[in-house]
Homo-oligomer: A and B are copies of this chain.
Amino acid sequence: MRFFKSDNTAAVSPEILAAIAQVNHGAVVAYGADAWSARLDEVFGKFFETEVRVFAVSSGTAANSLAIATLCPPWGTVLTHAEAHIERDECGAPEFFTGGAKLSLVSGAGAKIAAEDLRARLAWFEPHVHGVQPRMLSITQATERGAVYSPREIRALADIARERQMAVHMDGARFANALVALDVSPAELSWKAGVDVLSFGVIKNGGMNAEAVVFFDPARVGDFEYRRKRAGQLACKGRYASVQLTSYLETGLWRRNAERANRLAAKIAAAAPQLLSEPFATNQVFMKLGDERIAQLAREFGFYPWGPTGSGEARFVCSWDTPDEDVDALCAALRALA
């Protein structure tokens, strides 16, 4: 079976395994007090060209939920897209971690939130105790439909959030793919555009089981560390998570892997552009195939139908190690279908 289900089906990049092997000697203090974990802030600070506080966790869901729980009180609400991962694919994790804060949804093409839609949604909230209070905006970069927010678009949303004292969270499960697609700097795509806290994805782009939560304002860290511990997300043997994160940045792996994944996906998109149901941008390709053609393709290829039951849409995702021949085979099949 040729696999396009998700970039999280991929193996781990050899660079990551090598980094893990390299630190595997001798006893070091547990729970992140080791020398490798101590480098996190510095390495990420260099990458983002600013002072940051960085914390490793074991999954993207944990990264998102802990970031949100730190900055949104239980009686707050997080404005986010109706198709956001935190809304649809984390089984209510943000609600669990926050003690019952609400996600308030905004629609929009490409799983992107438009500034005017954010404003319209915010108009429903009143500053009284009867309703939850908007305390956070969470956007995904790249989005769940493969689109990207430009720095200018992020800034526009962040400005609206700022007016309402809302923190800005970015779910960057595919942040590297967005960086490569937009060809901007990590700083431009995050804190310079108004992002307060970033779930920095590594797993989908070659990592094994470590993601980073990056706070761009150290004052915002608050009680994050207590929350991480109490969520079972403070790794005992911290070095093995930390070196995944630092080697990912320092070896340039983030860029190499994202470039390859995006490039392969571009081939797929180009194979049947008339079938695209979303403009192509990163490493995800969405096509309107109809249920029949989906069934046909599913004999040879692994991928997910998308949207509500019966929508006839499909998603193909490329990763850093999707085989070229699998991509070629899919392109041929799509050309034949189209």
**Residues of chain A whose beta carbon lies under 8 Å from any beta carbon of chain B:** 3, 5-6, 8-12, 14, 17, 20-21, 24-31, 57-63, 65-66, 73-75, 77, 88-93, 95-103, 105, 120, 123-124, 129-133, 203-204, 208-209, 223, 225-237, 240-241, 302, 308-310, 319, 321-322
* A58 with B233, Cβ < 8 A, contacts A27-B321, A74-B92, A132-B91 known: yes
In the bound complex, residues from chain B placing their C-beta under 8 Å from that of A21 are 17
In the bound complex, residues from chain B placing their C-beta under 8 Å from that of A302 are 27, 29
Cα–Cα, bound, A229→B302 (Å): 23
In the bound complex, residues from chain B placing their C-beta under 8 Å from that of A203 are 236-237
A92/B105 in contact, CB under 8 A:
no
A12/B129 in contact, CB under 8 A:
no
* A229 with B93, Cβ < 8 A, contacts A209-B237, A236-B60 known: yes
B99/A102 in contact, CB under 8 A:
no
In the bound complex, residues from chain B placing their C-beta under 8 Å from that of A66 are 232
In the bound complex, residues from chain B placing their C-beta under 8 Å from that of A5 are 27, 29-30
* A102 with B93, Cβ < 8 A, contacts A123-B308, A209-B237 known: no
In the bound complex, residues from chain B placing their C-beta under 8 Å from that of A27 are 3, 5, 9-11, 302, 319, 321-322
In the bound complex, residues from chain B placing their C-beta under 8 Å from that of A241 are 209
Considering the complex, give the chain B residue whose CB is closest to the CB of A126.
B309
Chain B min CB distance to A79 (Å): 14
Cα–Cα, bound, A132→B74 (Å): 19
A309/B236 in contact, CB under 8 A:
no
Chain B min CB distance to A92 (Å): 5
* A73 with B226, Cβ < 8 A, contacts A17-B20, A58-B209, A59-B232 known: yes
Partner of A240, one of B12, B93, B123: B12
Cα–Cα, bound, A120→B131 (Å): 27
Chain B min CB distance to A177 (Å): 16
A24/B17 in contact, CB under 8 A:
yes
In the bound complex, residues from chain B placing their C-beta under 8 Å from that of A65 are 232
B31/A130 in contact, CB under 8 A:
yes
In the bound complex, residues from chain B placing their C-beta under 8 Å from that of A14 are 24
In the bound complex, residues from chain B placing their C-beta under 8 Å from that of A322 are 27
A12/B29 in contact, CB under 8 A:
no
Partner of A24, one of B11, B103, B240: B11
* A230 with B24, Cβ < 8 A, contacts A30-B6, A209-B58 known: no
Chain B min CB distance to A156 (Å): 20
In the bound complex, residues from chain B placing their C-beta under 8 Å from that of A308 are 120, 123-124
Considering the complex, give the chain B residue whose CB is closest to the CB of A87.
B102
In the bound complex, residues from chain B placing their C-beta under 8 Å from that of A17 are 20-21, 24
Interface centre among A65, A90, A229 (most CB of B within 10 A): A229
Cα–Cα, bound, A5→B236 (Å): 13
Contact sample, A vs B, 25 pairs, CB 8 Å cutoff:
A5-B29, A6-B30, A8-B31, A8-B237, A9-B30, A10-B237, A12-B237, A17-B24, A27-B302, A58-B58, A59-B232, A59-B233, A59-B234, A62-B233, A73-B226, A74-B92, A75-B223, A91-B130, A91-B131, A91-B230, A92-B101, A96-B230, A100-B230, A123-B308, A209-B240
